[in-house]
Amino acid sequence: MLSLLTLLLPTSLISQTTDHPSVFISVNIGGFITAYEDFSKVYDSNIGFAFGAGLGLPLTNKLYIYGKATYFAKKGVPVVSTYNYQNGILVNIVETRDGSASYKQWIYNGGLQYNFTLSDEYNLEINSGVTYTSIIEEKKSSNVSSFLNSSGVLGLFCGVGIEKKFQESPFAVFTELQYNYSRKDIIVAVGNYSGINMTLGLRYFF
């Protein structure tokens, strides 16, 4: 009887603690804080709702090829500036809000993620890589209209997160904070499209 228990016990412990690498997909919701200059003038705030999805392909038990797509959109009212010359200098006399504005941005992060085991249930995640973005912004007012459609490599991203797993379940919940850094030498359009992405999500491990 004792010998049987000694055989079963290690097997049971190993089955619960061994971390087998597996592919995961995720869905997430949260918020994005953009660093786009004067964004809050048109859209009332630099913060907006964001949602997306992710994918992880294991290289080892701890290291993943990491990918995440985030969609951020807001609607607002354009700011129309009226200028005049004073002493030979062009001066902004008055700003008014008129018309409609729409901003849509896809943010694609691709790189590597490493998991640090905190306990049987919790992991600390560190990820980093390259950011690609696609931006569409349209502004219409009584006198002026503009349209921006641009895409390309934005720069780099880095992030940190906490993942909670559930025993005997393929699901896990996670929270993640990422910073997307806009490199001036490879920026896709005039402006700073850096930002902070705050995420709460659900993962499924195959």
pLDDT per residue as tens digits for the range 85-112: 777 676 666 677 788 999 999 999 999 9
Reported as half-sphere exposure (CB side, CA atoms, 13 A), residue 5 has a value of 2
Instruction: Identify the DSSP state of 180.
Output: E
Instruction: State how far the Cα of 32 lies from the Cα of 50, in Å rounded to an integer.
Output: 6
Q: What is the DSSP string of 23-82?
A: -EEEEEEEEEEE--TTHHHHHS-SEEEEEEEEEEEESSSSEEEEEEEEEEEEEE--EEEE
Instruction: State how far the Cα of 66 lies from the Cα of 130, in Å rounded to an integer.
Output: 11
Residue 92 confidence (pLDDT): 62
Residue 190 confidence (pLDDT): 60
Residue 14 confidence (pLDDT): 34
Query: 63 burial class (0-12, 13-18, 19+ CB within 10 angstroms)?
Result: middle
Instruction: State how far the Cα of 138 lies from the Cα of 149, in Å rounded to an integer.
Output: 9
Residue 12 confidence (pLDDT): 36
What distances in angstroms separate CA 93 from CA 15, 98, 143, 186, one per listed residue? Answer: 72, 16, 17, 35
* In the predicted structure, residue 15 carries a pLDDT above the cut 50: no
For the domain made up of 21-205, the CATH class stated in words is mainly beta
Residue 91 confidence (pLDDT): 64
More confident residue, 146 or 124: 124
Q: How confident is the model at residue 153 (pLDDT cuts 50, 70, 90)?
A: confident
Residue 97 confidence (pLDDT): 79
Residue 17 confidence (pLDDT): 38
* In the predicted structure, residue 5 carries a pLDDT above the cut 70: no
Beta bridge partner(s), residue 128: 112, 158
Longest dimension (CA), the chain: 101
**pTM tops 0.85:** no
What distances in angstroms separate CA 172 from CA 1, 35, 139, 167, 206, one per listed residue? Answer: 38, 31, 41, 10, 12
Report the share of the chain in percent with pLDDT over 70.
81
What mean pLDDT is reported for the chain?
Answer: 84
Instruction: State how far the Cα of 202 lies from the Cα of 25, in Å rounded to an integer.
Output: 9
Q: How confident is the model at residue 119 (pLDDT cuts 50, 70, 90)?
A: very high
Structure-block tokens of residue 47:
């913060």
With contact defined as beta carbons under 8 Å apart, do 153 and 187 qualify?
A: no
Interacting residues of 34 by C-beta distance below 8 A, sequence separation 6+: 46, 48, 72, 105, 193, 194, 195
With contact defined as beta carbons under 8 Å apart, do 57 and 64 qualify?
A: yes
Tens of pLDDT, residue by residue over 32-63, are 999 988 899 899 999 999 999 999 999 999 99
Structure-block tokens of residue 59:
């290289």
